[in-house]
Structure 1
Amino acid sequence: MKPIFSKTSPLGLRLFLAVTASIMLILTDGQTNTMIKVRSFMETAVGGLYYLANTPRTVLDNVSENLVDTGKLQIENKVLKEQLREKNADLLLLDQLKVENQRLRLLLNSPLRTDEYKKIGEILTAETDRYRQQVVINQGRQEGAYVGQPVIDEKGVVGQIISVGEKSSRVLLISDVTHSIPVQVLRNDVRVIASGSGRSDELTLDNVPRSVDIAKGDLLVTSGLGGRFPEGYPVAVVENVSRDGSNYFATVTAKPLASLERLRYVLLVWSHEEIHKYQASSPEDVRNTVQQRLANKERGVDTKKALVTEGNENNKENGEKDDIAIPENLPEMNSNDHQVLPEIQEHREED
C-alpha cells in the first residue's frame, strides 16, 4: 500500500525537537503554577486507570475471602476475643495513667502535645525499582490529602506525598534515592540524616563522623526538624557501622521498620498545625483542665463529650474561628485535647 505522505522529516531534526522539548519540560517542571496544575490534572486523569487496574485484584480478594474455611474463621475469632479481653483489661487503668501523666507534666511546666489525625489509605499500585520507589494510594484531594503529607504504617514511617489528584495520591517512599529524612538516635538523641539507597530494605546515614556514638541495633526515630515529619515516629534500625581510619566519616546503614516491599495499607497523618493553629497551654490552663476531668469522672460524666462541649462554648463566647479547613472524613480525635507523649519521649526532649 502506498503511503499518503512519501516524505518524512529527517531523523536528526526529530531528535533535535524531542531533546529541545525534554529540556524545556525539565526546566519548567514545578517552577510555575501552570505546570503544577498540569501535573495535578494528569495525576487526576491517570488515577482512574489505577482504580481500573486494581479492580481484578479487589474482585479476587473478595472471592477468596468468601471461600475461607469456616474452621479457620472460628479459630481467628477465638484468638481475637482473647486479645480483646486483654486489651480491655489494660484500658481499665488508661484514664488514671493519663491523668497522672498530665499532673507530672504540669509539674515540669511543659506544654502538652496535641493529637494528630490519621486516616487509612490503600495501595493502588507500586513502582519499586532501583531508581524509583513510589506507590499510589486511594486518598486524594477530596479526602484532604496534600503535598508533603507524612505517611506511615503500623511499624514506622513510609514516606511523604509528592503529588495529589482528586481521588489518588503519589507517595515517595523513604527508600527512594531522592528522599532524605532527619532522624535521631533514640538512645542518645544524636541527630543524623537518613537517605534512601534505592533498596526497600536499606537506608544510608549521611556525613556521620567516626567519633559519633552510634552502634548496631540503635533505633532511629523522626527528629521533627524541618517540620515535615512529626517527632518520635520510628524510622529504621541501624544494621551496620563501619569506621575506616582513612576516612573522616563512618559508613552507616539502617533497615527501615516499615514493610516497604509488602505495603497494602498505610496511614495518612495530619499534624495539629494543619488542622488548627497551635497555641501552647499555660500551666494554669492545664491545671484547670485536669481538675475539670477529675470532677467529670467523679460525677460519671463522659470526659470526651464534656471537653468537646466546653471547648465549643468557649470558642463561641470568644468569637474564635478556625482559619484552616479541616479535611473531610477525618477520624474523630482521641479523648484528650492534648496527646500524652509516649514513654520514649522523656529520652528525646531537650531543655
Structure 2
Amino acid sequence: MSWQSVPQYPQYQDPNQQYNYGGGNPPQGGYGGYPPQGGYPPQGPPQGYPPYAQGGAQPYPQPYGQGPPPGGYAPQPGFIQPPPSAGGYGAYDDPESQPKNFSFDDQSIRRGFIRKVYLILMGQLIVTFGAVALFVYHEGTKTFARNNMWLFWVALGVMLVTMLSMACCESVRRQTPTNFIFLGLFTAAQSFLMGVSATKYAPKEVLMAVGITAAVCLALTIFALQTKYDFTMMGGILIACMVVFLIFGIVAIFVKGKIITLVYASIGALLFSVYLIYDTQLMMGGEHKYSISPEEYIFAALNLYLDIINIFMYILTIIGASRD
C-alpha cells in the first residue's frame, strides 16, 4: 500500500498546506500531515527495521515492489555478520572453517590392512615353524613321516591346488570364510612339507637357518620401509629372473654337485629377498607407483609367507651343502 492510497482523516488535515505524498520533505509534526504521536502510521519504524530515510526520500514504508528503503538492509538483532575474506563470502568460504571429514581416509585403511596382513602372516609362521620343530625334535613324528610317504604327496597336491586357487580365483581369496579355509589348508600342507624336508638336517642347522632367516627378513622389511627406491616397478625384471632361475633349477636336478647346489641356493635366497622387498612395498602403498588393494589381505599374506619360507629353505640348503 502506497502513501497515495492512505485514506485522509479530516481531523488531521490542514487546509492551508498542500502535502506531497510522493516525496519531498514532510511538514513539521509528522509525515503527510499526521501527528508525531498516535494516529496512523505509528511513530518510527517497526523494531528491527532501519530508520526512515532522510533528506527528502520517500518515507517508510516504500511502495510495494520498489525494494528496500535507501541505505540497504539492516540485519535483525542478534545476527552476527561473518568476517569478510578474499573470496567474498565471509568465513564460510575458508577451507579451514569447513567441517572436517571424519570418515576413514586411504592412510587409515592402509594401516589397518597392513596390521591384518602381518597378523595373518604371524599365525602362518607360528604354525609352520612349530611343525618344523615337531619334526626335527620329536623322533616319533619323524618316524611316522618316513613310514607314510604318501602323506607327503597328498600335502604336495593340497598345497598346489589351494595356492593356485587363491592366486588365480579372485572370489576364493576375497570371500570370507572361503579365503581363510583355503589359506589354512595351504598353511597346514606347506608346514607338513617343510617339516618333512627339515628332517634331513641336524637340529643345530635348522636353528641356525631359522635365526638367519629372521634376521634377514627383519632387515629387508626395515629397508623396504625406509628406502626411497621404488621396487614395485621391478615386477617385469623379477619375473624374467624367476624364469631363468626355474630353468637353472631344472638343470641342477640332472647335474649333481656341491658347487651347483650352493650357487643355486644362493641365487634363490637372493631372488626371494628382492621379492620380499617388492611384496612389502606393494603392501605398504603410499608413494610407490604400484600397490595392492586393501581387499587383497589374503593374497598379500600369501606372498610374504612364500617369500619367507623360500628364503628359509635356501638358507637351510646353503648350510647343509656347506656341511657336506
TM-score by length of 1: 0.21
TM-score by length of 2: 0.22
Structure (1 or 2) with the larger CA radius of gyration: 2
Q: Which has the higher helix share?
A: 2
Q: Which has the higher strand share?
A: 1
